[in-house]
Structure 1
Amino acid sequence: MAETIKLVDVTKCDGCRACMVSCKNWNDLPSEMEDFHGSYQSHEKITANTWNVLTFNEQERKDGGLDWLFRHSSCLHCTEAACEKACPENAISHTEFGSVVVDYDTCVGCGYCVQACSFDAINLATYIDKNGKEFRKAQKCTQCTDRLEEGLQPACATACHTGAIVYGDKDELLSSAEDRLAQIKERYPNANIYNPQGISGTNTVYILADKPTTYGLPENPKVALSQIVWKDYAQPIGKMMLGATTMAVIGSFIATNLNKKNHSSEGDQSHE
């Protein structure tokens, strides 16, 4: 299977929020009422039940004019995902499409993934079981993996009428991103392609009109060394040691019972 990505060109976005609506509809996410933030932005940030938010930033140009800098903000589906590294239950993983998803049956709601994410793209949702007890599960954008499995596009890409969000072959879209960058450089001197290599790139790539921090994105995010050591070394070794210990206990149990059986057999023979 060819590698695929979602390419978001913020310079084509007109702030319609169709991506937000389509995401809510497809994923059957509940509405969330928020207080007025003093801007056109409907939600302050991504939440457990609002997986993508269109951010609004007003920027003054050198000629005195104003530009609206919009961004379709959602999970970037990092190649080296900090949330995946931080999860102690292996409830977060990559799919064949490069999307990062949560296994709700395995998730225990510890919140380590929330703390680890550099993009504040994953949050804990609260539920109540049949006995009235509250429990939590991590939730975020899945890049519509269920749609991808059926050969469909992510809902946000399908709904975007300006072509600001497209999904397709990785090499083709990265090439088109370079062409687009050359076209907009005159108007946006600081324009750049945001695909941070500190995390080996992302499955959602941006064409930004200004530096990443203008859009609330970290310049060069990285997975913490402690998370890498924990996930890639300490946890596997710990499981191996636990497995060895378990086998030793089982072996000891079997050996003890065999010895008892042998002694019992020898005792019976001595009485014959």
Structure 2
Amino acid sequence: MAEYVKYVDVTRCDGCKACMVACKNWNDLPAEVTAFQGSAQSHPKTSADTWNVLQYVEHENGKGDLEYLFRHSSCFHCDTAACEKVCPESAISYSKFGSVVIDHDKCVGCGYCVQNCPFEVISLKTYKDKNGKEYKKSQKCTMCTDRLEEGLQPACVTTCHTDAMQFGKKDEMLARAEKRLREVKDRFPNANIYNPEGVGGTHTIYLLAEKPSVYGLPENPKIPTSAVVWKDYAQPIGKMMLGATTMALVGAFITNNMISKRTQGHEDGGDSHE
């Protein structure tokens, strides 16, 4: 199946926040009271109840002029996701569209995904069961996978009135990004396409007007070594060892039973001979 990506062109964004409202509405996310940010930005970053944030950056360009840079910030849906690698319950997986999704029935709220996400877009939400006991679950943007399954586009994409966000096949979106990059280079000399290879590429790609660090993004994000060791080495070896240990215990149990029965048989036979 073809890979799909969400393409975000920040040079077209006018900061209207319609994407935030659409996300809240579609995913039935509650309003969140936040402290004043000192600018037009309403939330400091994504959270368990706010899966995408319209980021405002005050930036002095190469000409010495002050300008606002906008960025729709949400989960990047990495092709090789650190959150998926570190989840001990296999609660995080890839959909057929390339989106990274969390199975809340399996999630135990350990927070490993939160700690290892290179983009800091995952948060834990606290719930209470019928007895009042608190428990936690990981929350983040799903790229509206439920909408994709019905042939629809992500809610944030459909509401963007400037075409700053588009969704489609990976090759087509990358081609549009490359074309747009050539068009804006005169105005934004540092413009670049942000699709970091350190996480295998992403399913949310950006055309940025400035270097990633200007937006608070890592220049070259990578999957933590600990995550790779855990998922690709420790877990498989652990499972094999667990399997070997289990087989050994079963074998010992069977052997002990056989020996016990033989011993019992000899004892019974000896008694009848006497």
What is the match of residue 250 of structure 1?
Answer: 250
Question: What does 1:46-85 correspond to in 2, within 5 Å?
Answer: 46-63=46-63, 65-85=65-85
In structure 2, the gaps of 5 or more residues are: none
Query: Is 2:16 aligned against 1:16?
Result: yes
What is the match of residue 205 of structure 2?
Answer: 205
Of residues 262-271 and 238-247 in structure 1, the stretch that sits farther from structure 2 once superposed is: 262-271
What is the match of residue 223 of structure 1?
Answer: 223
1: CA distance between counterparts of 2:64 and 2:234?
A: 56
TM-fit CA distance, 1:63: 4.8
1: CA distance between counterparts of 2:87 and 2:164?
A: 33
TM-fit CA distance, 1:66: 3.9
What is the match of residue 181 of structure 2?
Answer: 181
Of residues 169-178 and 78-87 in structure 1, the stretch that sits farther from structure 2 once superposed is: 78-87
Query: Is 2:265 aligned against 1:265?
Result: yes
TM-fit CA distance, 1:64: 5.5
TM-fit CA distance, 1:61: 3.9
What is the match of residue 114 of structure 1?
Answer: 114
What is the match of residue 88 of structure 1?
Answer: 88
Number of residue pairs matched?
272
How has the CA–CA distance of structure 1 residues 268 and 12 changed in structure 2, closer, same or farther, with 3 Å as cutoff?
Answer: same
Q: Percent identity?
A: 65
What is the match of residue 134 of structure 1?
Answer: 134
In structure 1, the gaps of 5 or more residues are: none
TM-score, normalization by structure 2: 0.95
Secondary structure of 1:43 counterpart: coil
- RMSD across aligned positions (CA): 1.3
2: CA distance between counterparts of 1:110 and 1:62?
A: 44
Of residues 88-97 and 166-175 in structure 1, the stretch that sits farther from structure 2 once superposed is: 88-97
TM-score, normalization by structure 1: 0.96
TM-fit CA distance, 1:6: 0.6
The Cα offsets for residues 208-261 of structure 1, whole Å up to 9 and x where unpaired, read as: 000001111100000122221111001110111011101111121122122222
